[in-house]
Structure 1
């Protein structure tokens, strides 16, 4: 399982059951989602509207005392059919094991920075 460090937006791989507590985001997919590939080049993702979901998930997870988060759009390398298949088959378990599950809808993410005044 690949998790996103909520403080520095880097990925870390965890094997087997040795997985730290993490937050997970349940959301609707929209245009301008940030992919795993995008996350490798920060300048490619900061301008995308989908980056707000990642930013706010990390912010809330850190506030909740968690070091990691999992967001399907950026934590799965969809260019790898094997990884995509494993993720699809593991998703229920990953949601069940998460310490926190945050939810969002299309309407919520229409603004660029929903929590900032």
Structure 2
């Protein structure tokens, strides 16, 4: 597992070989844009990475995990390991910061509910596990103004997603909910790759398997 060290002058990647010795860490939850910072190169998504690191540092979290740049996606084995481990990463994190790139801080008044409902983050396949796996999730606007916690926004999030409060607030759905219920939470969510409609649900269903792109709908 790779983590970004937030206390460095520039965010620095640190490799942790033994997961049992992983230090406490935060996680950035977000929707991927067109030009994200990756393991291989810096792009315009850098400001989002820097913003997340600054926030974690202010809260005394020395490390943060960000999926875009902490995984070497050119390595099929590393990508497979990461996809199979993501749900556990979220579950074991100390705090998660959900960055809503299409939510503006000047919408936090009367139009808040409408804008929150319309956020793309709630429509993506991969963000389902980002929402239910971690215990503590804080939501932020695109200029890093805090909106609230998953706990304080629970009623609205349940209305948007159909996920009962029991599973939003900590109960592990892989043990305590039906397959039909979990499938209903995923209904209508979108992914860039067809295969990811299946692979984004692996943690939610407690499934471990090597992902293979090119299968299309057969990934299910």
TM bucket normalised to smaller:
0.7 to 0.9
Q: Which runs of 5+ in 1 are unaligned?
A: 39-44
1:29 alignment counterpart: 32
Q: Distance in 1 between matches of 2:63 and 2:78?
A: 20
Q: Is structure 2 residue 92 aligned with structure 1 residue 97?
A: yes
Q: Distance in 2 between matches of 1:4 and 1:94?
A: 14
Bigger radius of gyration: 2
Higher relative contact order (CA 8 A, sep 6+): 1
Q: Which runs of 5+ in 2 are unaligned?
A: 105-141, 145-220
Equivalent residue of 1:35, what SS?
coil
CA contact (8 A) 1:30 1:106 kept: no
Q: Distance in 1 between matches of 2:77 and 2:55?
A: 31
Post-superposition shift, 1:105?
A: 2.2
1:5 alignment counterpart: 5
Q: Is structure 2 residue 67 aligned with structure 1 residue 64?
A: no
RMSD: 1.7
CA contact (8 A) 1:34 1:73 kept: yes
Q: Is structure 2 residue 109 aligned with structure 1 residue 114?
A: no
Post-superposition shift, 1:32?
A: 1.1
Instruction: Return 23-32 or 8-17, whichever deviates more.
Output: 8-17
Post-superposition shift, 1:17?
A: 0.8
String of CA shifts for 1:65-105, please: whole Å, max 9, x gaps: 11100000000000000000000000000001111100012
Post-superposition shift, 1:108?
A: 4.5
Report runs of 4+ in structure 1 exceeding 4 Å deviation. Answer: none
Q: Is structure 2 residue 70 aligned with structure 1 residue 75?
A: yes
Equivalent residue of 2:40, what SS?
helix
Tell me the TM-score normalized by structure 2: 0.45
Tell me the TM-score normalized by structure 1: 0.82
